[in-house]
Amino acid sequence: MGSMVGTDSITTPIVSCTTHWFKNSRDLIAFKEGRRHSFEYGRYGNPTVKVLEDKISALERAESTLVTSSGMNAIVATLLALVPPGVGHVVTTAECYSEARAFIRDKLSRMGVKVTFVELNDTETLKAVLDQGDVTLFYTDSPTNPHLKCIDIKLVAELCHRKGSLVCIDSTLSSPINQKTLTLGADIVVHSATKYIAGHHDVIAGCISGSDALISRIRVWHHNIGGAISPDAAYMIIRGLKTMALRVETQNRTALRMARLLENHPMIERVYYPGLNTSPWHHIAKSQMSGSGGIISFEVASDLHGVMRFIDALEIPFIATSLGGCESLVQQPAVMSFWGQSDEEKAKNGIKDNLVRFSFGIEKFEDIKDDILQGLEKI
């Protein structure tokens, strides 16, 4: 795809402009009536951002894409635009992005939206809820964080569409390289573009892809609530897109090799990774993903403090939240995300004190392997 109409630049120019002018009133009226494509104000669109949106649409095989200031902004804009207050009904899963789950549970419900939680891939319960005939939208992640469960997107889409319900999937942990969510039947796919899409731990962004009709509805809400991305950030993501396939393929390979190794390590009780033949989600992942992603989670044969000793002994990864960048990151969800929460709350979310989540970067596999193995010896 070209970088920008009207330029001969190989790289996409950064158009640092808040407002655009019209040559005459005739052009302005043509723009207002939709007969002329142009830009008006930076919150409504920008040439650099438009190039990014078109590139993501091509990756997702979508008619249209909206890029936002964060993944959470993408989720909120989608839900506010597509789920009417007072009469809407959202079905979501117990394991999905915690901030999205909290927004649906605490904020949408206060707006009069009915909220129903179902277990991932509990299709019988989902069918029963859909039979009520009032479900507006089904929302979840695939794969999920941190247990990397996969939902059968094609099946769920078929069930929902029979009852006139929309399907929105957060595919952040798969990336557009590993999973073409829209071709599987979802109506909307959202990403935290901060992660694999941008890929360098240096920009915050989100994106929403789908049909022209749905994205147009979301775009109206996006204009109202703000959340426009800067052209500089858009340029950085465009640059990241150029290497995304290379990065993700490397991360896929490292994660799979490390998952197989750890699965047979005496200090590891369980490995969560859909690329493993032993994973209960393997058959689903194999049917809808070309790669299983760059994250693995595993339970160490130790307690909270023993796992801390393991993590502190690692030399390559950073102890940090987020994922999908060039640098490896490691975290203990019981500390990073659930610190201060009750044992009951942690148990409800499947969070054990000995659980580790590892997001692989693009370092050499042998270096990562040696580091993890020496860290396990320090427990």
Active-site positions?
A: 43, 97, 170, 195
* Of the candidates 182, 233, 185, the residue with the CA atom closest to the CA atom of residue 208: 182
Neighbouring CB atoms inside 10 A of 316's CB total: 17
What DSSP string describes 63-122? SEEEEESSHHHHHHHHHHHHS-TTT-EEEEESSS-HHHHHIIIIIIGGGT-EEEEE-TT-
Q: How many Cα atoms occupy the beta-carbon half-sphere of 193 within 13 Å?
A: 33
What b-and-e string marks burial along 223-254, b requiring 16 or more CB atoms within 10 Å of the CB? Answer: eeeebbbbbebbbbbbebbeebeebbbbbbeb
Cis upstream peptide for 146 (omega within 30°): yes
Q: How many Cα atoms occupy the beta-carbon half-sphere of 98 within 13 Å?
A: 13
Nearest-angstrom CA–CA distance, 193 and 39: 23
